[in-house]
Amino acid sequence: MSETRIIDASDPADQNKIVEEVAGLLEAGEVVALPTETVYGLGADALNADAVAKVFAAKERPEFDPLIVHVGSYEQVDEIAEVPDEIKEVVAKLMKAHWPGPLTLVLPKKDCVPDMVTSGLDTVAVRMSAHPIMKAVVRKLGKPIAAPSANRFGRISPTSAAAVEKELAGRISTIVDGGACREGLESTIIRPEAGEKRPVLHMLRAGPVTKEMLQRFGKVERPKRNRSNESPEAPGQLASHYAPVTPLRLLRKIGDFQPEPGKSYGLLSYCGSEKTGFINGYDWDQVEELSPGNGKLSEAAVRFFYVLRKLDESGVDEIIAEPVSETGLGVAIMDKLKRASVR
C-alpha cells in the first residue's frame, strides 16, 4: 500500500468536492476512513463483497464479527432490511427519535446484503449517522456504506483522524479528517422484537443512547456478556475488545491494587477525586482523567478513547482503571473497560 492520504474537510466550502471524490473512491471499490459522530469508521460499499473484504483485511478483523451498515435515508433501510409487521411501529418510533444519531438497529436482512457484511447471519445492523460528511457521502454514493471503527481489530477506537493514521497508515489509501467525534463512544446497538405486552429491545451494545432513553419504547433487556469470544450477533460483543496494547486492569477499589516492584503504572481516573482513594493511593507514573474535576459522564464518554490512547502511548507497563457509576452513559464506559481488561 502506498502512503495514506489525509483529506482536510474542515472548510465547509470544500465539502461538496470532497464528498464527490470520496463517493467515487467507494464506487470504485476502495475503502476510506470517514468521520461519524461516534468514532471514525472504515467505509466501503456495503453491497460490494470485494470492497468489504478489504475492510476486514485492513483491520485484521475476523470474518465472524459482523459490520454496521450506514444508510442515508429511511428508504435505504427498506432496500437492505425486512422489517416484520409486528415491530414496524416500534422501529419507526426509534428511527424518528434517534436517527440520524448513535443508534443501530439489528433487523432481518435482504439477500442483496453480502454474507461477508453480516458474517453469515440473517440479520443486518443498520444506522444513520448524524455526521454531515458521512451522511453526505452515503447519499452521494446512493448505496449503503459498511463502516466498522477505523482501527486494527480489538484495539482502541479512533475519535480523530490522527488516531486513524496511527492505526491504519499504509493499510488504506485515504482518511477524511472531519475533526474530533462529538460522542466518543460507538453507537448503541439494539435488536427489537415483539413482546407479549410491549416490544422487547435487546441491548446488544451499550452506547450514547442509554437504557433510560429507550425504556419508553419497550422493555430493555441486556444479554449476558460473551465471555468466550464466540461468534457475536452484533459488533462490539466479543469478550476482549477496545483494548490498548498496554495491559489494563479494572479495579473496584484501591485496596485491590498490589503493585509489582520495578513496574510502572498509569491511572485512568474518572474525575481525579480523592474520595475514591485511587489518586492518592499510589505514586502513579502517569494519570489521565476522563472528566477532570467534574465527574460528568457525558464528558467522560467523549474523552474515553482519547484518554485511553494517551495512557497506552505513555510507556507505562500497566494501566489501572477506576470504575465509574454504571448508570446512563456509565454503562457503556464500564462495558468497554471490562472488555479492555480481558486478556
% of the chain residues with pLDDT over 90: 90
Q: Is the dihedral of CA 109, 339, 62, 51 positive or negative?
A: positive
Q: Give the model's confidence band at 242: pLDDT under 50 very low, under 70 low, under 90 confident, else very high.
A: confident
pLDDT at 139: 97
Q: Give the model's confidence band at 239: pLDDT under 50 very low, under 70 low, under 90 confident, else very high.
A: low
pLDDT at 238: 72
CA distance 31 to 44: 5
Averaged pLDDT, 307-318 = 97
Cβ neighbours for 68, distance < 8 A, ≥ 6 positions apart = 41, 104, 125, 126, 127, 146, 147, 148, 187, 189, 235
CA distance 343 to 336: 13
Q: Is the dihedral of CA 96, 99, 102, 106 positive or negative?
A: positive
CA distance 29 to 24: 9
Q: Which of 192, 194, 154, 141 is nearest to 34 (CA)?
A: 141
pLDDT digits (tens, 9 = 90+) for 83-130: 999 999 999 999 999 999 999 999 999 999 999 999 999 999 999 999
What SS3 class is residue 266?
A: strand
pLDDT digits (tens, 9 = 90+) for 65-80: 999 999 999 999 999 9
pLDDT at 22: 98
- State which amino acid sits at residue 129: S
Q: How many helices (H) and strands (E) does the chain have?
A: 10, 15
CA distance 197 to 247: 45
What cell does 13 get? 466550502
**What's the topology of domain 5-74+110-177?**
DHBP synthase (3.90.870)
Asked if the model's pLDDT at residue 176 lies above 80, the reply is yes
Averaged pLDDT, 220-243 = 72
Residues of the chain within CATH 3.90.870.10 domain(s) are 5-74+110-177
Cβ–Cβ < 8 Å for 143, 46:
yes
**What's the topology of domain 248-340?**
Rossmann fold (3.40.50)
% of the chain residues with pLDDT over 70: 97
DSSP per residue, 72-92: SSHHHHHHHB---HHHHHHHH
Asked if the model's pLDDT at residue 222 lies above 90, the reply is no
Checking DSSP bridges between strand 174-177 and strand 5-8, what pairing results, if any? parallel
Asked if the model's pLDDT at residue 237 lies above 80, the reply is no
Residues of the chain within CATH 3.40.50.11030 domain(s) are 248-340
CA 31 remoteness from chain centre? 18
pLDDT at 225: 57
pLDDT at 243: 87
Q: Give the model's confidence band at 229: pLDDT under 50 very low, under 70 low, under 90 confident, else very high.
A: low
